[in-house]
């Protein structure tokens, strides 16, 4: 079994000629064309070719990182707020029992 990786323009806009998988001197199990439109290589996973440029994935990763960072800051602010409110609730409670004025002694 073998696959053909078609020619492509890499990130530097240089034409890379097509090649067959597995490549000579490479892993014999790497029979599939993998990678992106601008970076192609042979691998053993038939579902590892993505029909967009590699830089798109980098920007997608940066977006995910920014989103997770914002979520972490919101979670941290929520935890700090809960801790401050708990401290204020505990510190403002009266430390002694209030006298209700009722006597509970037997007559």
Residue 1 has pLDDT above 80, yes or no: no
| Of residues 41, 43, 48, the one with CA closest to residue 19 | 41
For the chain, the straight-line distance linking the first and the last C-alpha, in angstroms and rounded, comes to 101
Number of domains within the chain: 2
Residues 64 and 38 in one domain: no
- Predicted local distance difference test score (pLDDT) of residue 74: 97
Cα separation, 59 vs 68, in Å, equals 14
State residue 82's pLDDT score: 96
Does 61 reside within a domain? yes
Query: Does 26 share its domain with 57?
Result: no
**Residue 19 covered by a domain:** yes
Q: Which are the contacts of 20, defined by CB distance < 8 A and separation ≥ 6?
A: 2, 3, 4, 5
> Per-residue pLDDT tens for 41-98?
899 888 888 777 666 666 677 788 889 999 999 999 999 999 999 999 888 877 666 6
- Residues 29 and 8 both lie in one domain: yes
Based on the fold, state whether residues 39 and 63 are members of the same structural domain.
Answer: no
| 96: in domain | no
Residue 105 resides in a domain: no
Q: For residue 97, is it within any domain? A: no
Is there a domain that residue 37 lies in?
A: yes
What average pLDDT does the segment 23-48 reach? 86
Q: What is the extent of the structural domain holding 70? A: 53-91
């Amino acid at each position: 079994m073998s696959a053909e990786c078609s020619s492509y323009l890499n990130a530097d806009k240089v034409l890379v000629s097509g090649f067959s998988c597995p490549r000579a001197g490479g892993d014999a199990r790497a029979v599939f064309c993998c990678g992106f439109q601008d970076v192609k290589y042979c691998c053993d996973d038939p579902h590892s070719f993505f029909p967009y440029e590699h830089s798109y994935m980098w920007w997608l990763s940066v977006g995910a990182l920014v989103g997770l960072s914002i979520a972490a800051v919101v979670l941290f602010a929520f935890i700090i707020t809960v801790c401050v409110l708990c401290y204020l609730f505990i510190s403002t409670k009266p430390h002694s029992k209030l006298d209700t004025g009722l006597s509970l002694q037997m007559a």
